[in-house]
Amino acid sequence: MMELFATTAFLFCAALFAFLLAINRVRLYNKLKEPNNNLCATENTCCGEIKLQNGELPAGKLPTRKPPARMPTVMPSDKKAKKVVPLSVNYHFTRKCNYKCGFCFHTAKTSFVLPLDDAKRGLELLKNAGMKKINFSGGEPFIVKKGAFVGELVKFCKQTLGVESVSIVSNGSLVSERWFEKYGEFLDILAVSCDSFDADTNEKIGRQQGQKSHLISLRSVRRLCADYKVAFKLNTVVNTHNKDENMVEEIMQLNPCRWKVFQCLLIDGENTGPDALRRAESFVITNAEFDEFLRRHKDVEYLVPESNEKVRALCLVGSYCYIRPNAVCEPEPRFS
């Protein structure tokens, strides 16, 4: 009788503990995904950084799982490499894109995409090496297998690896509600490109596919992010075509958690130079023109400027580390 009582009491306590743990995880997880939760407060890369109001990483905010039984068989052999902790990773798994932006600096030089299982294996190695933030980018991430590829990677990183911040940078044109239904719960941040609220300017830049309106896609993605509690970010590249635009009103309406404003940048072999697929020289603006754009938008409190000088400095100290289909870890891209 005593044994039966002890067993019942033990099972009850275990169930209660599991229930409380689950409630706590759901609460923290939802808080983390609120659009205005000061997510991505200080990131230096395209991906988001998760920081709550006090600037500290919330402990135990994500579902944690036991480490996989199968441990990595490939580990860095170089002593120096062991010291590098890849806290924040940008994984450019494809160079293909359905847009033709004239200043694009990650052009379709190859159609190669690593098989899904290999990509997962690489991510597992990065997680074991200390990765806390992963951002998927391209090209256009949603172009591969109609978004299923990036969806599976997002799910794997969040559900299996327990990565703290999982984000995507996209042009937004191929994102569907069906994708959000299947994968939205595993995504923390979706950043969408938006250079102009004028359809003609977007056409001049190449930020659209055929006659499909980029602005309709953008607003649709904004709504989906709100519905599925995914933090929404905006990225803008200031260039000769949009440098005089005033975007304050529309940006305020979209109300992203972050608005990153980049100065158009030349990268040798990508958008300038003999091997480049794009010629971005005519898109380049001066530092003074970039500063003037920033001044015009100074009232947008969540604006984060990324001047060419700042990006170059970050590259030189190795803050930018890209994983591309045809190259691994290029901390110092060549600039013109």
Q: Which residues bind ligand SF4 (CB under 6 A)?
A: 97, 99-101, 104, 106, 138-140, 171, 193
> Which of the residues 40, 46, 47, 104 is marked catalytic?
104
Does the annotation mark 101 as catalytic? yes
Does the annotation mark 321 as catalytic? no
Rounded to a whole number of angstroms, the minimum distance from the CB of residue 59 to ligand SF4 is 36
The answer to whether the beta carbons of residues 153 and 141 sit under 8 Å apart is: no
The answer to whether the beta carbons of residues 35 and 224 sit under 8 Å apart is: no
Rank residues 88 and 271 by Cβ distance to ligand SF4 and give the closer one.
Answer: 271
Rounded to a whole number of angstroms, the minimum distance from the CB of residue 33 to ligand SF4 is 25
How far apart CA 45 and CA 259 sit, in angstroms, is 13
The answer to whether the beta carbons of residues 184 and 230 sit under 8 Å apart is: yes
The secondary structure of 255-292 as a DSSP string is --SEEEEEEP--BBTTTBSTT-S---GGG---HHHHHH
Does the annotation mark 264 as catalytic? no
Rounded to a whole number of angstroms, the minimum distance from the CB of residue 97 to ligand SF4 is 3
Rounded to a whole number of angstroms, the minimum distance from the CB of residue 329 to ligand SF4 is 20
Rank residues 32 and 141 by Cβ distance to ligand SF4 and give the closer one.
Answer: 141
> Which of the residues 97, 157, 257, 264 is marked catalytic?
97
Rank residues 100 and 312 by Cβ distance to ligand SF4 and give the closer one.
Answer: 100
Rank residues 164 and 217 by Cβ distance to ligand SF4 and give the closer one.
Answer: 217
Among residues 258, 262, 206, 207, the alpha carbon closest in space to that of 238 is found at: 262
> Which of the residues 40, 46, 47, 101 is marked catalytic?
101
Could you list the beta-strand ranges (E) of the chain.
88-92, 133-137, 165-170, 189-193, 231-238, 258-263, 303-306, 322-324, 327-328
Structure tokens that stand for 123 in this block: 């991510």
Rounded to a whole number of angstroms, the minimum distance from the CB of residue 171 to ligand SF4 is 4
How far apart CA 131 and CA 148 sit, in angstroms, is 23
Rank residues 254 and 280 by Cβ distance to ligand SF4 and give the closer one.
Answer: 280
Catalytic residues: 97, 101, 104
